Amino acid sequence: MECGSSLQFDCAIRLLVHQHSSPALTAVMRGASFIGSATFLVPLGILVVAHYLWRGRRRTARLFAITVLGAEVLDQILKLAFHRIRPAAFFELPEPSGYSFPSGHSMVACAFYGALAVLAAGRAKTGAGRWTYRTVAALLIAVIALIGMSRIYLGVHYPSDVLGGYIMALIWLFAAASARRGIWRSYRD
């Protein structure tokens, strides 16, 4: 793998992570990558939206869908804007199609699981409820981190692709949360 001076950080991290590979860890990382994929998130997202609609929380369902779909659209726009070529994948994985920056798995998973955490935390009213939602939020953050790490471990993204995906997802989440507060301040689900 060739690394120019602008990619030295990315390549050093990729190689460091790859040096600690094992068959068991590879299986875990493939699983983590799967829970950040569209194959997993689309059906789960439909279930989440259906759950909110069934509970009579139309605005929450709409906000969740807009947040996740918006993250996907933003990811595609950024990939086209940056045109960053993907690194060579490890473990003889097929080369993913599309551009590398930002990591779509990281960005959309951060928006998806992050939105779930924010929406759940907003419902906590009691001490026990707050503890439960904080625990769930911590688990979702761990899932987000694991998905990003899996993309680096499997060699399909540079670390800066994952960090860029996280940063853009957080900006998008804050924008969506701000819009919700601004537009729906006087309404409750």
Domain locations in the chain as residue ranges: 23-184
**What pLDDT was estimated at residue 70?**
92
Is 18 catalytic? The answer is no
157 is catalytic: yes
pLDDT at site 111: 94
Q: One digit per residue, pLDDT tens: the chain, 189 residues?
A: 455 555 788 888 888 888 888 889 989 999 999 999 999 999 999 999 999 999 998 988 988 999 999 999 999 999 999 888 787 777 776 677 788 788 889 999 999 999 888 877 766 667 776 777 778 888 889 999 999 999 988 888 889 899 999 999 999 988 887 776 654 444 444
Burial of 153 per CB tally in 10 Å (0-12, 13-18, 19+): buried
**Given the residues 18, 51, 83, 105, the one annotated as active site:** 105
Crossing angle of helices 159-184/58-82, nearest 10°? 140
* Helix ranges (DSSP H) in the chain: 8-19, 23-34, 38-54, 58-82, 104-121, 127-153, 159-184
| Calculated CA dihedral for residues 3, 14, 98, 142, nearest 10 degrees | -150
Burial class (CB in 10 A: 0-12, 13-18, 19+), 154: buried
φ, ψ (nearest 5 deg) of residue 125: -115, -30
Nearest Cα neighbor of 41 from 13, 12, 16, 72 is 72
DSSP code at position 142: H
pLDDT recorded at residue 174: 86
Question: Alpha carbon of 96 to those of 39, 56, 79, 109, 175: distances in Å?
Answer: 14, 39, 13, 17, 30
Q: CA-CA distance, 45 to 106, in Å (whole number)?
A: 16
Of the candidates 58, 41, 40, the residue with the CA atom closest to the CA atom of residue 49 = 58
The active-site residue out of 18, 20, 51, 157 is 157
